């Protein structure tokens, strides 16, 4: 018992010493540790890193960890969050296709509910958010980025909502957050075609705000954006953001069950299963 307490204390001391070197506080989101969080003590800004190799595909566990992290940031009155990835080439490969292929009923319900939770918390967060997109960001990966208020993308990667290319439609909350960033015209064109934009194309169309040379540069640029809010009342800021996003948030809040049932219905269609199966095979054959 005493030895356990000493071990715990030693671990805490070691971890606090390594964090002090960079003036960072570290905490992990929960049991599975698929999300790392480093809070800069000086600025109060948290860098949240998705850490589910190889491609940060969003499965139930990763979404649950992210959801818990977002709760912690809100209850700690975070000064801001930068979302990024531990991979060198992928921000997030989007929803884990294996969660939708040959679905197990209870797990698929929990999976979609966790995605809804993450979207509501991230899109509606009171603290400012930015995405340091340090790799490819298709579909659900793009969703996480467009929930944030600012996006900085490292050169030479791709981003977009490519669902129609998989034979599925982007759900309505994907579409509303896309339209919050792009004009309706650009959103319609990109969504129906399932366009994946290069970093430069994404900048041109307004899907990202800045281009970065590498991950450190993207985090730096996100930080500069978030630091601008030092001059603004956090209450006034949060109220303004949430007022602008209120309709989209209420749309999902008020229709969660319907949205869940639509998802379950869609993924259980034989034609969708066939398409997903072929897509998984094509990824494996690469
Ligand atoms: C009327 C309204 C109806 C609404 C109904 C709703 C219906 C459902 C809506 C669902 C919305 C879906 C959203 C999504 O996010 S679907 C996922 C879309 N994602 C993609 O298309 C990306 C696929 N992946 C890639 O393009 C590449 O992997 C990537 C560019 C990201 C990285 O390339 P890289 O070469 O670095 O890596 P690999 O391709 O070799 O991949 C490594 C291994 O990871 C596996 N993998 C990749 N992506 C996924 C994924 N999304 N899910 C699960 N697994 C994935 C890949 O197969 C490799 O596995 P192996 O190592 O085992 O071969």
Q: pLDDT, tens digit, for every residue of 62-86?
A: 999 999 999 999 999 999 999 999 9
| Alpha carbon 187 to chain centroid, angstroms | 19
Where helices occur in 21-153 by DSSP H, the ranges are 60-75, 105-123, 140-147
- Mean pLDDT over 28-40 rounds to 80
Lowest mean pLDDT among 1-10, 111-120, 148-157, 188-197: 1-10
Side by side, the strands of the sheet bearing 137-138 are 137-138, 158-160, 197-198
Instruction: Using most ligand atoms within 8 A of CB, pick from 50, 55, 259 the residue to mutate for ligand 1.
Output: 55
**Separation of CA 93 and ligand 1 centre (Å):** 5
Across all residues in the chain, what is the average pLDDT? 90
User: Average of pLDDT values for 16-45?
Assistant: 68
Per-residue pLDDT, 211:
98
Which residues have any ligand 1 atom within 6 Å of their CB?
Answer: 54-55, 57, 89-90, 93-98, 136, 138-140, 162-163, 166, 168-169, 171, 262-263, 266-267, 283-284, 286
pLDDT at 27: 59
Residue identifier of the C-alpha nearest atom 39 of ligand 1: 283
Res 28 pLDDT > 90: no
pLDDT per position as a tens digit, 184-225: 999 999 999 999 999 999 999 999 999 999 999 999 999 999
Q: Give residue-wise pLDDT tens across range 234-250.
A: 999 999 999 999 999 99
DSSP 217: H
- Whose C-alpha lies nearest to ligand 1, atom 62? 284
pLDDT at site 9: 30
Active site residues: 95, 140, 162-163
> How high is the pLDDT of residue 115?
98
Q: What is the pLDDT of residues 81-90, one digit of tens each?
A: 999 999 999 9
Q: Which residue has the higher pLDDT, 226 or 3?
A: 226
Is residue 17 very low, low, confident or very high in pLDDT (cuts 50, 70, 90)? very low
Helical (H) or strand (E) element with 192: helix 184-193
Residue 23 confidence (pLDDT): 45
Q: What is the pLDDT of residue 285?
A: 80
How is domain 19-216+224-285 classified at the architecture level of CATH? Alpha-Beta Complex (3.90)
- Take atom 16 of ligand 1 and give the residue whose Cα is closest: 95
Over 60: is that where the pLDDT of 7 sits?
Answer: no
d(CA 243, CA 238): 8
pLDDT of residue 11: 34
Question: For the chain, what percent of residues have pLDDT higher than 90?
Answer: 86
Q: Give Cβ neighbours of residue 64 (< 8 Å, ≥ 6 apart).
A: 30, 32, 114
pLDDT at residue 286 in the model: 73
Question: What per-residue confidence (pLDDT) applies to 26?
Answer: 60
Shortest-distance Cα residue to atom 4 of ligand 1: 171
């Amino acid at each position: 018992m005493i030895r356990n307490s000493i071990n715990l204390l030693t671990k805490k001391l070691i971890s606090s010493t390594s964090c002090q070197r960079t003036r960072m506080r570290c905490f992990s989101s929960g049991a599975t540790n698929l999300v790392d969080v480093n809070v800069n003590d000086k600025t109060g800004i948290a860098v949240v890193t998705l850490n589910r190799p190889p491609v940060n595909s969003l499965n139930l566990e990763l979404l649950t960890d992210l959801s818990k992290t977002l709760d912690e940031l809100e209850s700690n009155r975070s000064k801001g969050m930068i979302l990024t990835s531990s991979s060198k080439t992928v921000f997030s490969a989007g929803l884990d296709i294996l969660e939708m292929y040959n679905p197990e009923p209870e797990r698929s319900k929990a999976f979609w509910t966790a995605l809804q939770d993450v979207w509501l918390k991230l899109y509606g967060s009171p603290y400012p958010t930015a995405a340091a997109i340090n790799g490819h960001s298709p579909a659900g990966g793009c969703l996480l980025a467009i929930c944030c208020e600012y996006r900085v993308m490292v050169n030479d990667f791709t981003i977009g909502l490519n669902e129609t290319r998989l034979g599925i439609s982007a759900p309505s909350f994907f579409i509303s957050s896309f339209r919050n960033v792009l004009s309706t015209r650009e959103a319609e064109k990109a969504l129906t075609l399932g366009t994946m934009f290069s970093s430069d194309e994404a900048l041109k169309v307004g899907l990202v705000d800045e281009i970065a040379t590498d991950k450190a540069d993207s985090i730096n640029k996100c930080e500069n954006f978030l630091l601008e809010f030092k001059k603004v009342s956090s209450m006034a800021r949060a109220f303004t953001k949430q007022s602008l996003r209120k309709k989209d948030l209420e749309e999902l809040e008020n229709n969660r069950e319907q949205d869940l049932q639509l998802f379950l219905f869609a993924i259980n269609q034989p034609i969708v299963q066939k398409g997903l199966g072929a897509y998984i095979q094509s990824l494996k054959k690469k």
